[in-house]
Chains A and B, each alone.
Chain A
């Protein structure tokens, strides 16, 4: 059907400190079509950011990708040298971070930073032409008076404008895949809406695929068309976006959704918080990693002993792949 933009197979990443081995990403596989908007949700420490960095080849020691294929545009980039990867990053796949300030150099003008992003991958580009392209990019991310504002420094921009510049830099070379790690978390809601609208245009006009990493399920609903719920380094539930709100099948997905204050549920009593803590990724339980906190499996030997495999289930809002021993039973229960 649709052309694949990215295909990740059996990706595993560990942080080996000598004293302990933290399994940050555990055997994750997924496909991303062109123009697809995949939301990756989970709590801090679930491995969301480690996944992003692994795909981009940006994991730093003591971390390393121990296994897996990352096929981007038909080529496995996980085996490339740093130098070869440098030519791919920023050109075919790009990253936008939560804090735009960290992506921008405070002592260089906005214009020179965009020009640099362009000429790194296009050394022959003439200065004047690069500057014209930079101004176009600023216009594309809705910065008014773009020509004049090229000569400003980052501190002269507001937080929302800096994030849009970071996006302009990320899309400068028309990447196939854009990974956005909590891109709106530091922004106010109205600014957040503007950044999401900008990402919309990017997908529509350039057929970019987006992986949006967030802890905010509202943003997933507002922007994404598919979703992966991450827990303890694994995708425990993947589906089309509506499924997760209509029939969250993994007990963790359901718990995550329920603990968000939702005015529609005001009358239903206190927020059902998730008990306990996320597991220590250096000492994972042998069965399901959610079992110690799970309202369904907490007391079941099967859940503590045997790691669940993905089950394909079909609910009222489409299909899902769920790593839970009770997936079939649960989808019948939650989908009433």
Chain B
């Protein structure tokens, strides 16, 4: 792959990050045995992830976006081998996770952590915040008790919680604070990769901003790599350097933030992007110009034989090749991959934003701004 010479900024600006993969999926598939579907309740296989290949680079925020059922959360779990793959492999820093035994995997898990969506369900209500953050250190037998306590308190301070608050149990905290505890628990091990599974969707808007800022600050401080799962494209656009769009367990498109959001090539990306309401004046007029999404989100149980998006696609619906053949992944521009027989045939022109140029990535404008938390807790 050649170095992008085109004005595609984030990579060019951060050359040292550009080419080092830290997490790679190669031909990753996941099949679940599902009961039902027929009256005898026989089990039958359902492919929820279908031959996915992706590369996450060190130091970046890599977004996984798509609608419910697209497999983004399953993929995230497979990437850390919290779920076993049905086919393919996952390389973490060059090591094939699928070949590791339990102990080896456990040792490696220190370097890969997970933050869950629901800060209410993911914290043990009987433990204090301090104990919750200490626990991973205990499990991985890091330091002695005093050092662990100290590390937990420092980590809690980093996420904006005091030593006094460390003695409280989860119920005493608000949703945003609980998510901070979840973040502290994941980050206390100083991982290299953190998978953030819808980390802010359960939170109020004002609190979402605080948590996003915190995540950005920690990434900068600790040099972390994020895999950021979101159904909210506005958040992904704000937060991620590169984004993969998934539909029914397949990758539709992967690109830099600015390329994906200003010049999406896959009709599914286009319809997803144009459906996002933007908090700017003139939304009614904007919405009237957009094409209406066709039909229902499909199901992996009845996956179409060709392109999974074909039945809803404004470009390919009814076209023979789209119905019959799964599109190969091509790379029409450096770093911009798409799985479509007719990439770029529809565009978001006018459909998305009003007047304000679609070229959001103007010069260095797209680099995520330097982060200091402005929220006085």
Contacts and interface: CB of A to CB of B under 8 A. Distances in A.
Nearest to B271: A190
A270 B211 CA distance: 11
Given A43-B204, A189-B233, A190-B67, A276 B374 contact: no
B231 A189 contact: yes
Contacts of A216: 277
B375 to A, nearest CB: 4
B234 A190 contact: no
B275 interface: yes
Interface in B360-377: 360, 365-366, 368-377
Contact of B234 (A193, A260, A274): A260
26 contacts: A43-B205, A189-B67, A189-B233, A189-B272, A189-B275, A215-B205, A217-B279, A221-B281, A221-B282, A241-B281, A242-B282, A246-B281, A255-B206, A259-B205, A261-B208, A261-B209, A261-B212, A266-B365, A266-B366, A266-B369, A267-B369, A268-B369, A269-B371, A270-B370, A270-B373, A273-B373
Interface string A280-301: 0000000000000000000000
Interface string B203-221: 0111111101100100000
A275 B374 CA distance: 8
Q: Is the interface of A mostly helix, strand, loop or mixed?
A: helix
A267 B365 contact: yes
A160 interface: yes
Contacts of A261: 208-209, 212, 234-235, 237-239
B276 interface: yes
B151 interface: no
A269 B365 contact: no
B102 interface: no
A11 B193 CA distance: 52
B235 A218 contact: no
A220 B360 CA distance: 23
Given A158-B296, A160-B296, A263-B234, A219 B277 contact: yes
Given A190-B271, A194-B293, A43 B281 contact: no
B213 A270 contact: yes
B168 to A, nearest CB: 16
B283 A221 contact: yes
Given A193-B290, A273-B375, 11 more contacts: A191-B293, A194-B292, A218-B278, A225-B284, A261-B238, A262-B278, A269-B371, A270-B372, A274-B375, A275-B377, A317-B281
B234 A215 contact: no
A94 B217 CA distance: 46
A189 B276 contact: yes
Interface of A: 43-44, 158-161, 188-194, 196-197, 215-223, 225, 241-242, 245-246, 255-257, 259-264, 266-277, 317
B237 A218 contact: no
Contacts, number: 159
A188 B368 contact: no
B360 A260 contact: no
Given A256-B205, A261-B212, A266-B368, A275 B296 contact: no
Contacts of A246: 281
B205 A222 contact: no
A76 B68 CA distance: 43
B277 A218 contact: yes
Contact of A273 (B209, B366, B369): B209
A215 B296 CA distance: 25
Q: Is the interface of B mostly helix, strand, loop or mixed?
A: loop
A229 to B, nearest CB: 12
A146 B371 CA distance: 53
Given A158-B296, A189-B272, A261-B237, A270 B376 contact: no
B209 A269 contact: no
B109 interface: no
B373 A44 contact: no
A317 B233 CA distance: 28
A43 B297 contact: no
Contacts of B376: 275-276
A6 B315 CA distance: 45
Contacts of B239: 261
A260 B238 CA distance: 10
Interface string B154-165: 000000000000
B323 to A, nearest CB: 20
Contacts of B149: none
A275 B353 CA distance: 30
Nearest to B273: A189
Given A188-B68, A266-B238, A277-B174, A245 B297 contact: no
Report, nearest first, the 9 A-B pairs whose CB atoms are least far apart: A221-B283, A218-B277, A261-B238, A271-B209, A188-B67, A273-B375, A259-B209, A190-B293, A217-B279
